[in-house]
Amino acid sequence: MTRDTRSPTIIWFRDDLRLADNPALLAAVDAGGPVIPVFINETGPDSLRGLGGAARWWLHGSLDALDGSLRALGSRLVMARGDALPVLRALANATGADEIVWNRRYHPDAREVDARIKSSFEADGRKVTSFNGALLVEPWEVSTGEGSFYRVYSPFARSARQALGAVRTRPAPTGRIPSPAQWPDSLSLADLKLRPTTPDWAGGLRETWTPGETAAGETLRNFIDERLSRYKTKRDFAAVDATSRLSPHLRFGEISPRAVWTALSRVAEDASGAAERQAAEKFLSELLWREFSYHLLYHLPPLEQANVQDKFDAFPWRQSDDRRAAWETGATGYPIVDAGMRQLWQTGWMHNRIRMVVASFLTKDLLVDWRDGEAWFWDTLVDADAANNPASWQWVSGSGADAAPYFRVFNPVLQGKKFDPDGAFVRAYVPELAALPEKYLHEPWTAPADVLEEAGVRLGETYPEPIVDHAAARKRALEAYQKIKEQAA
């Protein structure tokens, strides 16, 4: 048999850990020569933001699944660690690869890294080709009438829908993926040291999640079949299983947004009733919110570092390690806040409505800088995303491009009563309050002494007193905002 003498193509996997609808991988296969899939656990340059602990746990499972899928097609995933440029150059030199393909990234620092690698490879006479594997519409494909980027979601969403056209997906490669005559050296997955060991805090994550492309597809199908019908009306209720649970799968590219959009659009088109059609359309609008976050990420300075509205540079944030620690550990004395923070720690995920509540509490009740909250979420969320995470924190804090009005300060008691009306969410994650009557569950400090005693609750001992008075904190936050508003005028 004649050996294939065509030069290999390197496919560099990053946040696109799937085979189906992966344009970079499909281009590498279409080239006809040997394909070398590689993943690099990037440790440089220093400007790149390292993954948080929960995301690293997810990444381990996702890489394991991807490697298994590649091996089923006669290929494998080459794994490395370090600065991507010298790693890729050494790999290309060792294999004779004359082309590298990847799907694009949009964070300013990641784009700078990719531009440096592309320039270096092209100077070596090698070809570099990049693709859109992460978005429905890339940030430069939509613009305002004045030619600038969008700062408000609604007109962005309208423009993005117009730019979309017919959304097409491509299936995973079939048959064997051409392999090189000799595989280059590779680290093992264990060598990347992504999972926690001492202590192993990931038990709740293992019980809650299954990373990987197969699980992503199953999650989408289950959402459409079992939960979509109640998505529009019940998605804000913390204890109701009405959300998609797709966010970590999208974050790691185990499923493409095109595949999700196509599936939900088909439901909207084929729906026999208005309720199902409206639920599908609502979910599509949430996908466009993800697109909007990436639109902002591309066009603005790093979202996790800089206020979009520079008047917030003068905001009088308060440094309070004790109060921030109470928030992080779910010990604020506000049950809905504490339940959300404990859900985050146990499962690596938090219900979206509760994310808004806890973010408002940190930034407005406690006046702690939104960047501290964003950093905590970055470390503890399995779906910690370079665009969604900081964009959403800036939205809640009021400093973002399309921000919630600053006077919108979530009342944690009212939010609890409205979106956890029977207390099921609080009882699940704050079990020390489980025996309290529903009437007092979201504000236990109002319960009579005999009710607290019968429920086994001792405020300040078994459950904390509120660390701040919400009414006074709201007033203080609004006064602080008014001050920076006047200074900026």
- The DSSP line for 181-250 is SSPPP---TGGG--S--SS---HHHHHH---SHHHHHHHHHHIIIIIGGGHHHHTT-TTS--S---HHHH
> Is residue 374 over pLDDT 80?
yes
> Is residue 5 over pLDDT 90?
no
pLDDT at 274: 86
Kindly report, as residue ranges, where domains of CATH 1.10.579.10 are found in the chain. Answer: 310-488
Rg of the chain over all Cα atoms, to the nearest angstrom:
24
Mean pLDDT calculated for residue range 3-28: 92
User: Which CATH code is given to the segment(s) 135-169+213-299?
Assistant: 1.25.40.80
- Residue 102 annotated to the active site: no
pLDDT at 1: 30
Query: How confident is the model over 33-43, as pLDDT tens digits?
Result: 999 999 999 99
Six-digit token string for 298: 């591309």
- Residue 393 annotated to the active site: yes
Specify the 3-state DSSP secondary structure of 33.
Answer: coil
- Residue 41 annotated to the active site: no
Residue 183 backbone phi and psi in degrees, to 5:
-75, 140
> Is residue 375 over pLDDT 70?
yes
Higher confidence at residue 273 or residue 338? 338
- Residue 317 annotated to the active site: yes
| CA–CA separation, 470 and 412 (whole Å) | 8
Specify the 3-state DSSP secondary structure of 429.
Answer: helix
Catalytic residue among 138, 201, 352, 432: 352
Higher confidence at residue 404 or residue 175? 175
pLDDT band at 2 (very low <50, low <70, confident <90, very high): very low
| C-alpha pair distances (Å), 218 with each of 329, 370, 426 | 32, 35, 29
CB 252 within 8 A of CB 244: no
- Residue 453 annotated to the active site: no
Q: Which of 223-232, 264-273, 351-360 is predicted with the least confidence, judged by mean pLDDT?
A: 264-273
Kindly report, as residue ranges, where domains of CATH 1.25.40.80 are found in the chain. Answer: 135-169+213-299
> Is residue 128 over pLDDT 60?
yes
Residue type, 331: A
User: Which CATH code is given to the segment(s) 310-488?
Assistant: 1.10.579.10
Residue type, 199: P
pLDDT at 134: 98
pLDDT at 403: 85
pLDDT at 44: 84
Q: Which residues in 246-281 are b (16+ Cβ under 10 Å) and which e? A: bbbbbbbbbbbbbbbbbbbeebbeebeeeebbebbe
Catalytic residue among 132, 138, 201, 289: 289
Q: What whole-number percentage of the chain has pLDDT above 90?
A: 94
What is the chain's mean pLDDT, rounded? 96
Kindly report, as residue ranges, where domains of CATH 3.40.50.620 are found in the chain. Answer: 9-133
9-133 belongs to CATH 3.30.1180.20: no
Sheet of 78-83: strand order equals 78-83, 35-44, 9-13, 99-103, 127-131
Whether the model clears a pTM of 0.95, i.e. scores above it, the answer is yes
pLDDT at 3: 40
- Residue 352 annotated to the active site: yes
Mean pLDDT calculated for residue range 99-116: 97
Catalytic residue among 286, 432, 438, 445: 286
> Is residue 370 over pLDDT 70?
yes
Specify the 3-state DSSP secondary structure of 75.
Answer: coil
Catalytic residue among 132, 317, 432, 445: 317
Among 171, 168, 134, smallest CA distance to 20 is for: 171
Q: What whole-number percentage of the chain has pLDDT above 70?
A: 99
pLDDT at 43: 92
Catalytic residue among 58, 102, 209, 393: 393
